[in-house]
Amino acid sequence: MPALLSLLLIVVVIFALIRQYGANDAKFKTLISSLIYDDFEVHFNDSPSAGEAAKVNYLLNKLSDKYRTLRTQKEFQEQYVEVIISNVDFGLVCFNTANKAIMVNDTLRKMLHKSYIPDLEGFQKIDEGLYHILAAMKPGDERIFQLNELFTKTVLKIKRSLIHFKGEEMSLFSFVDISKQMSEQELVAWDKLTRVLTHEIMNSVSPIASLSSAMNGLIAGQTTLEGEALDDLKLSLSAISNRSSGLLDFTKQYKKLAISLELQIEVFSIADWLQEVQQLFATDMKNMDIQLKISNLNATEIHCDKKLMTMAVINLIKNAAESFPPDSADKIISIKAVQEAGQLQLSIADNGTGIEAEILQQIFVPFYTTKKSGSGIGLSLTRKIIHAHGGEINVWSELGQGSVFTIKLAA
């Protein structure tokens, strides 16, 4: 803006001089021509020998010098920006309103192994799925996309922004390679899952093996069993049956968590949907003396798989209902829907006991639970449903204050 104002001032001064000294003066024509063609070799005699014309010539030379300085600064800024764009470690591409690429940096070319990207349609040749994501994204949207190549998998975090340049609205897409971070998180997740699986399986297999060994010793060399020996055998067989059933249930729960989700997206009213959810819990909330409050502030519609999203919200409400001590009063669960900046935010809050910091870090780990009768997959399945919709789920909790689970989806 300072450079633009300076240039505008130069133009005003030139026209003022022309008006004062005559539009036909060859010197003004020469100066204007030199500015148009970036010819800065023109110099007017501003020495005392030039007489009265020296003052005008001096001003013309100053105007030429000022314009040359502004031009140099502009070229330097353009080169500076170009160097920065070329050397950042994330990809950038800018499209005009006709979806023609007016800028593609080297990082993106290397990332996509493509030296020439003329327009948005050019992404179809790179990856059909990536093209459809870019075409569907709105300003402010962020998406995670896995680019499958021959020997590697590149996970990209893509964001679309709007910029204005020379009076035209343009779309700027940034591509950040988060493959390393995702791999690290995946290893951590697998480590946690492996520990949980090992713990659960060992808890079932160890007593089965111990009881089987004891029964072998009990019946060794025996042709008939009576009295206490027979009772011990029955108890051991019953214990083995129970642990085997527990292990089978665990396997079924794991299978439920491991299946891929096929979304059936539909558009429906948030207010009507939340009322349906509230009605589902009407009896249970009354029996547990819990107030289930719903406030739909400004959100009207939601785009999602209704059955799966209902399952996710039910899990969160049940989790909140179980957070209250039996003797607590004024038990409240609040559900709020807010839409802003192209994003739908759904929060489920309670004023229960809260979650300890150590437990808070584990709550989304499959099969992790602090409840005696819990399976440990409710929150894991909820997060899987949210992620399948391209959203995210976060949790805040403080002991004695309660917890807030927040779901964020593209509106």
Q: How far is CA 260 from CA 228, 255, 257, 379, 381, in A?
A: 51, 10, 8, 16, 11
pLDDT in single tens digits along all 411 residues of the chain: 555 555 556 666 666 655 555 544 666 667 666 666 666 667 777 777 666 667 777 777 777 777 777 776 666 666 656 666 666 778 889 999 899 998 888 888 888 888 888 999 989 888 888 898 899 889 888 888 887 765 567 788 899 998 887 778 889 999 988 877 766 666 666 666 666 666 656 666 666 666 666 666 666 656 565 666 666 666 767 766 666 666 666 566 566 655 666 788 899 889 888 888 888 888 888 889 999 998 866 778 888 888 888 888 988 998 899 889 878 888 999 999 988 877 889 999 999 989 888 788 778 776 666 665 555 667 888 888 888 888 888 999 888 889 999 999 887
Q: Check residue 114 and give its pLDDT.
A: 86
Q: Check residue 146 and give its pLDDT.
A: 81
Contacts of residue 313, defined as CB under 8 A and 6 or more positions apart, other chains included, come to 277, 335, 346, 348
Q: Check residue 89 and give its pLDDT.
A: 79
Q: Check residue 24 and give its pLDDT.
A: 40
Pick from 390, 378, 394, 381: which is nearest to 303 by CA?
390
**Residue 91: other Cβ atoms inside 10 A:** 21
Q: Check residue 406 and give its pLDDT.
A: 93
Q: Check residue 40 and give its pLDDT.
A: 63
Q: Check residue 23 and give its pLDDT.
A: 41
Q: Check residue 272 and give its pLDDT.
A: 87
Helix, strand or coil for residue 147? Answer: strand
Q: Check residue 332 and give its pLDDT.
A: 92
